[in-house]
Structure 1
């Protein structure tokens, strides 16, 4: 019997603070071990190559705060609609291409805010000011979903993403942002932390934790991402 391997495309780049090279490199051995031929691209230009994308079974993206050209976003959307899976984490997928409303509709959620651990004026101007201890809650009705089966609620100390999203997402886990005395919002806000989405024939997985390598290495976060890659692939 011929060993039929699948094709995975890793697209990375953007803001260095999200460690796009280190975090994507973590998953390359996993992809190889699970039968994928892997191509790595530094930036979204590859999405304009429609003929190549027709051969891709899975896209893994970590590309934060960049822009995307019309031909590139059209190629990406076309690939997903035709069955290519799309998986990413944190700003690498939920804050990738701010210039494209079509991308926002594809993904189903956009980073809006991450609260600081105290009043901002009382903190130094560095990334750690936004590292808060918070809980990721598995949605009880989704406890048997392949991405989160067997996982319990877990805690992280990192950026807690407030995302704007829609109800077409299948939300597997949430996180609740507290309303503190100095915050402008006056009640807790619950946001999706892990969700899936079907677009045409393609499956999408978004995991909002993943600011840096140590968070992606967390056993729960890494498990969800790895399961998501296998689940979403064509």
Structure 2
């Protein structure tokens, strides 16, 4: 039997530590029998023959650029059964100028609320808020999140714009403090899946830093997500 194959595609903004973050999960994939290949450019997506041989793509590319041919190749490959998994800005804030990519993922980073002005020190921790990742009713029975309880994090809390074709496994609720202009709390998806043709997509919004990815709950969600999303057709 041929071993399953996984492609790790990483790059973009260094602030999300794409190399260190993906290196956390490569040993897991290899332990699950995957042959793992690493690319530092999304242009591999335009190689239809190569994409057809893959079972899973793990993407960690924040912002950055991608060609129309590569976006089309990724969409076609996922529709044909390829699994696609990512976390935080590496999937939910990639290729902002490409609407076809945004439609494929089903959710897009909008902002992350900040601490009170008097608590800010001028670095990335100004956007670290204590918040809860709440497992939904669907999430309590889904293979990715079953058995997990609600859990708390202190990190960036993603506010996500999304459509109704995602299946939300966990949410997070943004507060409405007086230093921000919105007037009521907002619930955003924090973990979701999406079926695209024959393929499966998994997005987890926690993961700003390596230590967040090492959180037992976050890591479990991503690892289970990779196994669930892998090619089934």
TM-score interval for Structure 1 and Structure 2 normalised by the shorter chain: over 0.9
Deviations 1:146-199, CA, capped at 9 Å, x for gaps: 000100000001000000001110000000000011210000000000000000
- Unaligned 5+ runs, structure 2: none
Pair 1:151 & 2:110 matched: no
1:29 corresponds in structure 2 to 27
2:130 corresponds in structure 1 to 133
> Aligned partners of 1:178, 1:184: CA distance in 2, in Å?
11
Specify the SS of the correspondent of 2:138. helix
* TM-score when normalising by structure 1: 0.97
Specify the SS of the correspondent of 1:141. coil
Pair 1:220 & 2:209 matched: no
- Cα deviation for residue 126 of structure 1 reads 1.4
> Aligned partners of 1:110, 1:183: CA distance in 2, in Å?
20
Pair 1:112 & 2:110 matched: yes
- Cα deviation for residue 45 of structure 1 reads 1.4
Task: Verify the 8 A CA contact 2:119 2:126 in the aligned structure 1.
Answer: no
Specify the SS of the correspondent of 1:72. helix
Deviations 1:206-233, CA, capped at 9 Å, x for gaps: 0000001000010000000000000000
Pair 1:170 & 2:167 matched: yes
Deviation above 6 Å: which 4+ runs of structure 1? none
Choose 192-201 or 133-142, whichever is displaced more: 133-142
- Unaligned 5+ runs, structure 1: none
- Cα deviation for residue 122 of structure 1 reads 6.0
Pair 1:199 & 2:196 matched: yes
